[in-house]
Chains A and B, each alone.
Chain A
Amino acid sequence: MRGITVGYVVRRLGMFFFTVFLGMTLIFFIPRLAPGDPIAAMVSRMTAQSGSVAHSDEMIQAWRVRFGLDAPMPIQYLRYLISLSTFQLGPSLAHFPSQVGDLVLRALPWTLGLLFLATLISFIAGNVIGALLAWRRTPGLAKALLPVTLTFTSIPPFMLGILLIYLFAFGLKWFPFTGAYDMGSQTQWTWSFVKEVIHHGTLPALAIVLTTMGFWALGMRGMMVTTDGEDYMILAQAKGLHPSRIFWLYGVRNAILPQVTALALSLGAIAGGAVIVEYIFTYPGMGYLLYDGIVNGDYTLIQGVVYFLIVGVALAVLIIDLLYPLIDPRITYQKK
Chain B
Amino acid sequence: MNTRRLSHLLALLAIASLLLSACGAPAAPPTQPPATEAPAATQAPGATEAPAATEAPATQAPGTEDYAQAPRNETVIFDIDGGKVPDPTNWNPLTPGFRLDQGYHQALIEPLFILNYETGEIEPWLGTSFTPNDTLDVWTLKLRDGVKWSDGEPFNADDVVFTIGMLQAHPELWHSGDMNEWVKSVSKVDDLTVQFNLNKPDPRFLLDYFSVRIWGDVSIMPKHIWDGQDPLTFKNYDPAKGWPVFTGPYKLSSFNQDGTEFVYVRDDNWWGAKAGFQPLPKPKKLVWTWFGPEEKRAAAMANNELDSLMDITTGALQALKAQNPNVITYFDKPPFAWVPDPCSRTLEFNNSVAPWNDKDMRWAINYAIDRDQIVKVSYEDSTVPSESFFPAYKPLNAYVDLLKTAGLFDKYPITKHDPDKTKQILESKGYTMGSDGYYQKDGEQLAIDITTDEAYIEKQRIAQVVVEQLQAVGINATTRNESDATFAQEFHLGTFPARLGWDTCGSVNEPWASMDTMNTKWLKPVGTEASYDRWRWSGPAADQYSKLVDEIGTLPLGDPKINDLFVQAMTIWMDELPVIPVTQAKKIIPFNTTYWKGWPSATNNYVHPPTWWEGNTLKILLKLEPAQ
Contact = CB atoms under 8 A, between A and B. Distances in A.
Interface of A: 12, 15, 19, 22-23, 26-27, 30, 34-38, 40-63, 66, 92, 94-98, 102-103, 106-107, 110, 158, 162, 165, 169-170, 177-181, 183-187, 261, 265, 268-269, 272, 275-276, 279-282, 284, 288-292, 294-297, 306, 309-310, 313-314, 317, 320-321, 324, 331
A158 to B, nearest CB: 8
Contacts of B171: 58-59, 62
A22 B96 CA distance: 33
A294 B15 contact: no
A57 B531 contact: yes
Contact of A44 (B28, B172, B181, B488): B488
A102 B89 CA distance: 10
Contacts of B177: 54-56, 58-59
29 contacts: A41-B488, A47-B505, A48-B33, A49-B32, A49-B100, A55-B178, A57-B529, A59-B171, A61-B529, A94-B86, A96-B95, A97-B232, A97-B235, A158-B26, A162-B295, A179-B261, A184-B261, A186-B254, A261-B7, A275-B22, A275-B25, A280-B293, A282-B84, A289-B86, A290-B22, A294-B23, A295-B483, A297-B489, A310-B15
Interface stretch (B55-63, B283-291, B355-363, B616-624): B283-291
Nearest to A93: B97
A35 to B, nearest CB: 5
Nearest to B234: A97
Contacts of A60: 492, 529
Contact of B18 (A36, A269, A295): A269
Contacts of A36: 482-486, 488-489
With a 10 A CB-CB cut-off, give which of A48, A95, A98, A165 has the most chain B CB atoms. A48
B506 interface: yes
Interface string B12-37: 10110011011101101001110000
A256 to B, nearest CB: 17
9 tightest A-B CB contacts, nearest first: A55-B177, A284-B258, A297-B485, A36-B485, A44-B488, A51-B505, A98-B87, A41-B485, A37-B489
Nearest to A43: B96
B18 A40 contact: no
A24 to B, nearest CB: 10
Nearest to A262: B10
B81 to A, nearest CB: 8
Contacts of B32: 48-49
A174 B431 CA distance: 63
Interface in B77-103: 82, 84, 86-87, 89-90, 92, 95-97, 100-101
Contacts of A62: 171-172
Contacts of B258: 106-107, 110, 179-180, 284
Nearest to B487: A44
Interface string B381-392: 000000000000
B15 A306 contact: yes
Interface in B514-565: 517, 524, 528-532
Given A41-B488, A46-B96, A295-B455, A59 B176 contact: yes
B598 interface: no
Nearest to B21: A275
A98 B85 CA distance: 11
**Interface centre among B15, B100, B174, by most A CB within 10 Å?**
B15
A325 to B, nearest CB: 11
A291 B291 contact: no
A282 B96 contact: no
Nearest to A291: B25
A51 B486 contact: no
A66 B174 contact: no
Interface in B38-87: 68, 82, 84, 86-87
B11 interface: yes
Given A51-B342, A57-B524, A296 B484 contact: yes
B25 A279 contact: yes
Contacts of B84: 282, 284, 288
A40 B343 CA distance: 19
Given A268-B14, A321-B3, A98 B488 contact: no
B4 interface: yes
B137 interface: no
Given A43-B492, A59-B171, A66-B232, 6 more contacts: A37-B485, A94-B97, A184-B254, A282-B292, A297-B489, A317-B8
A40 B342 contact: no
A158 B296 CA distance: 14
Contacts of B87: 92, 95, 98, 102-103
A76 B39 CA distance: 50
A271 B18 CA distance: 11
Contacts of B330: none
A279 B11 contact: no
Nearest to B289: A183
Contacts of A169: 299
Contacts of A47: 503, 505
B256 interface: yes
Contacts of A27: 19
A333 B308 CA distance: 65
B349 interface: no
B10 A35 contact: no
Contacts of B482: 35-36
B300 to A, nearest CB: 8
Contacts of B215: 49-51
Contact of A295 (B28, B232, B257, B506): B28
Contacts of A321: 3-4, 7
Interface string B201-216: 0000000000001111
A98 B232 contact: no
A43 B493 CA distance: 13
A294 B483 contact: yes
Given A110-B258, A295-B484, A49 B292 contact: no
Nearest to A11: B4
B25 A295 contact: yes
A61 B506 CA distance: 23
Contacts of A57: 492, 524, 528-531
B260 A178 contact: yes
Given A282-B260, A317-B7, A92 B86 contact: yes
A295 B454 contact: yes
Residue of B18, B233, B502 ringed by the most chain A CB atoms within 10 A: B18
A47 B258 CA distance: 25
A39 to B, nearest CB: 9
Contacts of B439: none
B259 interface: yes
A7 B107 CA distance: 63
Nearest to B236: A97
B490 interface: yes
Nearest to B233: A97
B599 interface: no
Contacts of B125: none
